Amino acid sequence: MIPIASLLLPVLLAAVAVFAYSFLAWMVLPHHRCDIRPLPNEVPLVEAIAAMDIEPGLYMFPNCEDPADYRSEAFLARYRQGPWGTLTIRPSKPNFGANLGLSMVLYLLIAFGSAWVVSLAVTDAATFGAVFGPALMIGFLAYGVGPLCGASFLGKPVRFMLTDLLDATVSAGLNAAVLALLWPAG
């Protein structure tokens, strides 16, 4: 088995590569520009939400407190009429520095998990392909498939899910390529 310490630099650089791509994907490249749109007139909605004094959390509407109410005619009428949506109320204003730090920690976890699983299966003299293939699959499962489950259930638009899958594929490829290129030699 490969010593974990010898994987620290490849893991760190794989996470940095994914972090850099994530920045480019959201701030420079055009494919996410239409994913999150502003409301046509957000002021009345924001004022209504503020007046409700909703505690932080994820909300889905229409919805019911008691599952038995899902069969009620009042709920069914609201459900047929719509609108339908989800709403996330944050506990405080977004802290982009903290969010970026958390993203980096998650990228490190995915890179480390990929490297660790691959290290169980290959020798320290593994070829590029022997490392790249499994690391690519692990990265794609982590970056793409996991988030897709929640996105589809919460009703994110198909276009948003497709651009996320594109980013997941590139991120998984970067993660796998850096790990494979820097895999410790025997």
3-state secondary structure of 57: strand
- In this prediction, residue 149 carries a pLDDT of 83
Residue 76 lies in a domain: no
When pLDDT is cut at 50, 70 and 90, the band that residue 186 belongs to is low
Per-residue model confidence as pLDDT tens digits over 120-142: 988 766 889 999 999 999 999 99
Q: Let me know if residue 106 belongs to a domain.
A: yes
Report if residue 78 sits inside a domain.
no
In the chain, the number of structural domains is 1
DSSP element (H, E) containing 59: strand 57-61
Please provide the average confidence, as pLDDT, over all residues in the chain: 92
The answer to whether residue 142 sits within a structural domain is yes
Does 133 reside within a domain? yes
Q: Containing domain of residue 20, as a range?
A: 4-36+95-181
